[in-house]
Structure 1
């Protein structure tokens, strides 16, 4: 039987994890496997969401049920619930106050360690009813379920609605007409069944080809069905029927099936069911049955996998494909209720679980540890999934507190005018901010309004025409940018901007992540990038040709390709993708922001997997000087030759004093070793060929002898203003003055 290699990797992890679950230690709710689900909430943390979700790692005896006990804030009041999963999400908001909780297997008295949390005025209420209540509500809603209630046909639009949506409808109609003649039918014979268990260049190329052609036809099906729904023009109905039949003709056991390409099968099912929903009574019974049957077979394949091992994703949540498929399954189930008997089980298994799950690539403050490029892809999928789910159920997923934090994350790391993505796979690409604008359009807040108004272009008209009128963001009564600097603790990212509202801004991005180099993350703990005025100055290098390629493995993800520290000829942090156990990681241990100085400190010691005994980096942003001071302190049990790497998209010119100057058209930075940071020389480095059409230059400040401990003290002089710099020793450590600003370097 052929297998998708990404599924093999996940299942290998599950087998390994199963071995870890068996032993029970003092606090069994905290697994010894770092990839297992974590007990939450904890540490007396104020919760972003009310009610919060409770989670814990499974007990080694794998019981059929758990007893959860929640106490507080009323003295003596204890709520006890029995659940079948290792998570629980109350359906109603809880009273503000301080709480404690613990859990045990239903068959024993082995309580977990109590954990506490706080609900206060900042904890936004976000309630999702129990599954049976939602199912009844969905079934009571006439089709199309995925269209906002009362959405009129185009001929009945008001002048204001035409002004807001008329352009989108015109563009979508043009899109459909163009694809009618440009895209041939899709059929299984276009691709071969994959028998290899290894991701090769050929396998990756086939997946890319399937994704390209299937997604064009999927969009064409949904777009033609929607245009017909809004206009009544039967030419669009004919195109929708043609494309729907093509997708329904693809075998769930063929190249687009779950066993072959796990992340394309449910999008096919989702498009078939969404189109059937849009067309409602205009779809003949025979055709509807064929579409629904194909979608149901695909959904059953995914459900059978995700529900195995009592829902393996509940225990091993750090799985990007699994999380995406859980979301698509929830959407498919929502639209299939009443047509497919099994959809009841699919819905009860997936809907509340998925809305709670969004996303395990950050904590409740929002963010995306895999990088903003993969975060952008997540927005694309979310718009396709969340919109119909929200409309059909009345649960506005875009109002979930995590979603608002996710949006603010993009404001900080892909602000208007940004030249490239930040960290992770695809970081070298230019962001398509229309996706971020689409996400912002669904949020009513001053910051969303600022972001939305400052992004040029329009979102995909297919998604825009499915939002209730008027756009939520247009109801915001004010507009304001987010803070200039921010720290996202759960992913270990920090952003420092001179003025986020100014496109000429200086932008510094720092990462020291507890996710380490897991999945699409890189070995760049304590690494940074620097932009100014929309120009890239200091960058991560290499490019994302395909997952697990030689480029990806040997350079792109490696520490030596980043603005980070290596030793002994480019040796760096451990990077092993899905095999990375998320313990060779980093952490931000200090962050502060003010009108004068911003500060961030990272500890990447664990990322070096024992090769170093200390790897800490401190960064100060001196706002009045528009300059950064970077201090690295390194230690090793073995003497090593340390290297301070820097990379740029243009030539690096080094002066006789050791200053490296980087000029990208009209923006520049000078990297300058600070006096008393001696014993090092600058060396140019030869890297692999960059992505066609781009240039990259590499260098490093290298210690002239092997040392057990070392320090690099560097100035990033944005604009190459060459301020006067002095470093003096004081009773409290060292005082560094750059121009008119001074900071204290702790010993």
Structure 2
């Protein structure tokens, strides 16, 4: 008799059981996930059937399945199916079956099966290189290309600026440990910059040496590679000491071992392979066994390490290290089943556009290396055909880096150039001209991007050019003149309202969110918050500076609700400390988002985000109207189990003019007038400050002040607050939106008139 099967409940941080009857299946075959039955050494048999009694003739059986996630190797005909799993050992089922779950496969879905293990690497072969150009034949074909068109292929600039400088330099010395083994931001960055330069030197010298058959360049590449292999994998560049440095060193060794394989003698090959395998094992052990990203997938760095480390390293070691083959199988299965934990069908990315950029940059490279080596194409999955919409709408180059959510090292500066390169890559994949337009706008705005610290430490754009131009045609740009006026990324709970996205002088944008991801990872305590950019000016912004991850600016200001255009309740905001389960629970929900005759509208319930800090909160809701693509009306509804004050927060780059129940932001290109037109609990007290509470003064020394408005209500058990926000061009200083109130019955009806057009908004009273 089979033993019982433990089937734990899923939690907010775990993968979910799916698919089930409530799941919308978006690709064929569906992806299957469940909670592991054991903490270790679990292995499964999976059955998928056309009937719930699983008869043999109508049932597919898969075994052994080594982890709690699976993508079948064949598609399904449209219809209803059932699935279940059990433990599997020694070629037989060893437990009872799990609960059977049903799911439906609609017609005409993208077909994205993952070949079975024994079929995946048949195309890979033993030839080198395997990363990028495939084998000597691939090098020979590319050699002909660059001879015919050195500029059009990007080779000329790559050779002059990304190859020759490293040929004249000596390899870096291995970084020293932190003084007293206490990390400092400066030394942490210095270490990973050194390791990134080791990667540049080895990869670029190796490629140029092989393509040009240049013994001098090959010799210099070998010098850098052997120096890298001499560094201690368990030392200051090891994964547990500085994971960013470790990722770069593993990548450097992978490229060197692959491209210089024929240049190394037996002892040198063994030395490099030993170091490469050790570094790859560190990363694999952390992602798979320690972080367990197949069970709890919200570890940003561990998930990225599948792209930046396990993919190139395992391809480089394939057919030589059995462990590497298993790690590569895990990586492929993760990409085809669980990726991405940060978004879904709509292409969103819960961590925000900056970490979309870093995550997608590593993944796009990984997809190219996988496709080149195995002929498997992850770009076929529907997520990759939509995810370019995310930066297009929430990180638009005609707006500002201060008007989006999440950690962002470009805060207040120019847009990250790599976001543009990612979009260009997606333009090549999808043929979408709006993505190409995005790339060209970013490049036009930031022509010196390659020299900036946060680019040099992560990417070489000239190498990007080689890879892109070798694989894709040039796509004609198309300005987003037909962009959606309301874009709802349901998968992450972000809503963007746009007017004239393609024209900086006319554009108006509001971005808001209420997300199931709460404040986990690189998200902040910003449920229901909003940002406004209009007529070329950031008018409602995220204040603060990018000092460093985990600085006091980061922990005490930027992650906290106090830095957002949001609400505090009795001085308390949403949870944003270090408990991941509480971070995830501090969530919000978009109840409705639509376009109608008035304009754009969104309603958000963010009650859960406050409960850890304000357990007596009954309801916290925010509605936002973008009326006639001209002005905004915000309706905040707060119900408490005891009387309390609310504080309505607004942030700007300029000191505001405060007048009774109104305020004004005077920017350089535009202005914004804000008026509190109704507050059920009485008049608000308006104050503003230019200080950053809780931030070490040394971190902001010499930086410009920014301004924070607080509108505080009298105490009450229920609050209804209506705010009118009117962005204005410089020649509209005297323009106003008039309003009056009709207070009868169970609603307060507010009428707003702008240039002869009157709109009515009803607010439910609180009794």
State if a TM-score over 0.5 links the two structures: yes
Shift of 1:633: 0.4
Conserved 8 A contact 1:443-1:472 = no
Conserved 8 A contact 2:651-2:707 = yes
**Mapped partners of 1:187, 1:531: distance in 2:** 47
Shift of 1:710: 0.8
Structure 2 CA distance for partners of 1:708 and 1:184, relative to 1, 3 Å = farther
Conserved 8 A contact 1:425-1:520 = yes
Conserved 8 A contact 2:32-2:337 = no
Which residues of 2 match residues 239-318 of structure 1 at below 5 A?
239-308=220-289, 312-318=292-298
Kindly tell me the number of residue pairs found equivalent between the two proteins. 709
Which residues of 2 match residues 204-215 of structure 1 at below 5 A?
204-215=185-196
TM-superposition CA deviations, 1:150-191 (whole Å, max 9, x none): 45566622798556323x54145223334556x763233x32
1:64 is aligned to 42
Shift of 1:528: 1.0
Which residues of 2 match residues 511-590 of structure 1 at below 5 A?
511-568=513-570, 570-581=571-582, 582-590=584-592
Shift of 1:444: 2.3
Task: Give the secondary structure class of the aligned counterpart of 1:165.
Answer: coil
Within the candidate set 111, 119, 133, 1:147 is matched to 133
**Are 1:88 and 2:70 an aligned pair?**
yes
Shift of 1:467: 3.7
2:638 is aligned to 634
Structure 2 CA distance for partners of 1:390 and 1:207, relative to 1, 3 Å = farther
Task: Give the secondary structure class of the aligned counterpart of 2:243.
Answer: coil
1:192 is aligned to 177
Shift of 1:401: 1.7
Task: Give the secondary structure class of the aligned counterpart of 2:467.
Answer: coil
**Mapped partners of 2:202, 2:68: distance in 1:** 39
**Mapped partners of 1:647, 1:160: distance in 2:** 55
Shift of 1:470: 5.0
Shift of 1:560: 1.1
**Mapped partners of 1:473, 1:412: distance in 2:** 23
Conserved 8 A contact 1:589-1:601 = yes
Which residues of 2 match residues 94-133 of structure 1 at below 5 A?
94-105=76-87, 106-109=93-96, 111-112=98-99, 114-121=101-108, 123-133=109-119
1:50 is aligned to 28
Task: Give the secondary structure class of the aligned counterpart of 1:315.
Answer: coil
Give the gaps of 5 or more residues in structure 1.
Answer: 1-22
Moved more, 466-475 or 647-656: 466-475
Shift of 1:113: 5.8
1:698 is aligned to 708
Within the candidate set 176, 179, 183, 2:163 is matched to 176
TM-superposition CA deviations, 1:47-101 (whole Å, max 9, x none): 3332221111123687834443434499984434343321111123322344444
Shift of 1:193: 6.1
Conserved 8 A contact 2:73-2:114 = yes
Conserved 8 A contact 2:81-2:103 = yes
1:744 is aligned to 761
Conserved 8 A contact 2:261-2:269 = no
**Are 1:613 and 2:618 an aligned pair?**
yes
Shift of 1:734: 4.1
**Mapped partners of 2:321, 2:255: distance in 1:** 14
Shift of 1:637: 1.3
Shift of 1:668: 1.8
**Mapped partners of 2:281, 2:631: distance in 1:** 56
**Mapped partners of 1:736, 1:742: distance in 2:** 8
Conserved 8 A contact 1:99-1:117 = yes
1:604 is aligned to 606
Structure 2 CA distance for partners of 1:307 and 1:540, relative to 1, 3 Å = closer
Structure 2 CA distance for partners of 1:608 and 1:630, relative to 1, 3 Å = same
1:157 is aligned to 145
Within the candidate set 682, 703, 709, 2:718 is matched to 709
1:19 is aligned to none
What's the C-alpha RMSD, in Å, of the aligned pairs? 3.2
Structure 2 CA distance for partners of 1:319 and 1:130, relative to 1, 3 Å = same
2:430 is aligned to 444
1:375 is aligned to 356
Shift of 1:378: 1.5
Structure 2 CA distance for partners of 1:88 and 1:476, relative to 1, 3 Å = farther
Shift of 1:454: 4.1
**Mapped partners of 1:480, 1:280: distance in 2:** 51
Moved more, 136-145 or 489-498: 136-145
Conserved 8 A contact 1:518-1:576 = no
Structure 2 CA distance for partners of 1:617 and 1:439, relative to 1, 3 Å = same
Structure 2 CA distance for partners of 1:64 and 1:280, relative to 1, 3 Å = closer
Conserved 8 A contact 1:139-1:337 = no
Structure 2 CA distance for partners of 1:727 and 1:71, relative to 1, 3 Å = farther
**Mapped partners of 1:98, 1:692: distance in 2:** 64
**Mapped partners of 1:727, 1:591: distance in 2:** 25
What TM-score results when the alignment is normalised by the length of structure 2?
0.84
What TM-score results when the alignment is normalised by the length of structure 1?
0.86
2:628 is aligned to 623
